């Protein structure tokens, strides 16, 4: 079999695309936090100008944030086109990775269309899907960066314990799905543009779960409209806020307890996972808790709220890559066992049918 040289250029370019996408999520967070999304009311033009020829002298206030968001988004789209093309032309890239590259291109096109429809149709719900899709797109780009790296062939060693790989992989896969749900709740709250539905912490209007009866909502809205001079809310706004809060409680407790237990049992060492990764996971997790609390106590300042979104994206990306890595290594262990004639337990999951390639 011909040995194909690893394509470092494609891998580095995929990392660049991930980084710029993180920047895009940050800029998008600023746009939402400052409620600047409709400061440029037309699309794909900007006040009648070609988007790329919009005069810099008009980049003022919210227009600066929204127009910058559009330009960075266009740049991400351009990078994704180059990435998908590079993956297709690379001899060291397997079929699945090439296919995922084109899927990423399709997602970024859809993301651009959703962003435009959010402006032209003035629909808040589109903004929610736009935010969720951005997080999913980031995860896909991270997986592409992983599959084009040398990490799988260097770390996917037979010395790794399959049981530990399975346990760690299942945990981070489950955590990733719950984190995406949590980010969906957060996106729903932010894109309703109604301010904080529950502005107190750790209590919620003096209770564990606030009263959402019509009389209670009327009293809350009277205070919001006549004292705080902000828009009224509905009971569903409070339900979404509390779902976001209670899921956060569960994630931080479950994540801390499980990770600490796994560290004490040396499961990460047995799975050949560098300890800096679970430690980094705990750091990001508690950093999210801190930012979430500050967001409520300081009435959702734009900078803190944006950093909260960005850190959440980093947490989701890390968990997704750890899950991908564990199942990739588990598949490698299975292949080594097959070639050596060892018996393979039938209950071991395999999420990658082609785990050991020179390009993965």
The structure tokens 């337990």 sit at 345
What does the pLDDT read at residue 157? 53
Residue 305 has pLDDT above 80, yes or no: yes
pLDDT digit string, tens, across residues 172-198: 999 999 999 999 999 998 887 767 889
pLDDT digits (tens, 9 = 90+) for 205-232: 999 999 999 999 999 998 888 777 788 8
- In terms of Cα–Cα distance, which of 130, 162, 126 is closest to 271? 162
- Whether omega for the bond prior to residue 44 falls within 30 degrees of 0, making it cis, is yes
Percent over 70 (pLDDT), the chain:
89
Q: Helices H, strands E: what count in the chain?
A: 11, 0
Contact 116, 66 (CB under 8 A): no
**Lowest mean pLDDT segment, chosen from 68-72, 166-170, 184-188, 230-234:** 230-234
Asked if the bond preceding 202 is cis, omega within 30° of 0, the reply is yes
Task: Taking residues 268-281, report their average pLDDT.
Answer: 89
pLDDT at 354: 42
Per-residue pLDDT, averaged over 34-51, amounts to 90
- Most confidently modeled range among 103-112, 155-164, 293-302: 103-112
Q: What is the pLDDT of residue 357?
A: 39
pTM for the whole thing? 0.89
Averaged pLDDT of the chain: 87
- C-alpha–C-alpha distance, residues 333 and 267, integer Å: 16
CB atoms within 10 A of CB 297: 12
Residue-level pLDDT at 192: 79
Q: Are 59 and 67 in contact (CB under 8 A)?
A: yes
Instruction: Quote the tokens at residue 37.
Output: 């999304």
pLDDT at 336: 65
277-294 mean pLDDT: 96
Mean pLDDT within 103-111:
96
- pLDDT at 151 (0 to 100): 77
Cβ atoms of 97 and 359 closer than 8 Å: yes
In sequence order, which residues have a C-beta less than 8 Å from that of residue 1 and are 6 or more positions away? none
Whether the per-residue pLDDT at 329 is higher than 90: the answer is no
pLDDT at 2 over 80: no
- Region 251-258 average pLDDT: 97
8 Å CB contact between 138 and 22: yes
């Amino acid at each position: 079999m011909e040995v194909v040289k690893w394509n470092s250029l494609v891998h580095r370019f995929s990392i660049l695309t991930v980084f710029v996408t993180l920047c895009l999520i940050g800029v998008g967070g600023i746009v939402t936090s400052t409620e600047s999304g409709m400061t440029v009311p037309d699309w794909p033009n900007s006040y009648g100008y070609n988007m790329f020829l919009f005069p810099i002298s008009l980049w003022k206030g919210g227009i600066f944030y929204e127009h910058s968001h559009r330009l960075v988004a266009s740049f991400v789209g351009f990078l994704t086109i180059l990435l998908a093309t590079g993956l297709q032309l690379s001899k060291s890239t397997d079929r699945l990775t090439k296919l995922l590259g084109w899927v990423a291109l399709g997602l970024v096109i859809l993301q651009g269309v959703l962003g435009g429809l959010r402006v032209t149709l003035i629909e808040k719900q589109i903004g929610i899907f736009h935010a969720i899709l951005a997080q999913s797109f980031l995860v896909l780009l991270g997986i592409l960066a992983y599959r084009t790296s040398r990490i799988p062939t260097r770390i996917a060693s037979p010395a790794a314990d399959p049981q530990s790989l399975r346990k760690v992989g299942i945990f981070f896969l489950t955590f990733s799905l719950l984190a995406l749900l949590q980010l969906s709740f957060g996106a729903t709250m932010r894109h309703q543009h109604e301010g904080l539905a529950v502005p107190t912490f750790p209590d919620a209007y003096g209770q564990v779960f606030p009263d959402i009866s019509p009389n209670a909502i009327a009293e809350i809205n009277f205070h919001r409209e006549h004292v705080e001079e902000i828009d009224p809310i509905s009971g569903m706004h409070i339900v979404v806020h509390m779902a976001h809060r209670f899921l956060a409680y569960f994630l931080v407790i479950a994540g801390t307890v499980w990770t600490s237990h796994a560290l004490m049992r040396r499961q990460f060492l047995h799975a050949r996972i560098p300890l800096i990764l679970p430690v980094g996971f705990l750091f990001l997790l508690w950093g999210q808790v801190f930012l979430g609390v500050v967001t409520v106590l300081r009435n959702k300042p734009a900078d803190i709220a944006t950093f909260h979104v960005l850190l959440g994206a980093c947490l989701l990306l890390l968990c997704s890559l750890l899950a991908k890595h564990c199942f990739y290594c588990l598949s490698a262990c299975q292949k080594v066992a097959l070639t050596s004639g060892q018996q393979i337990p039938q209950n071991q999951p395999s999420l990658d049918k082609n785990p050991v390639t020179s390009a993965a």
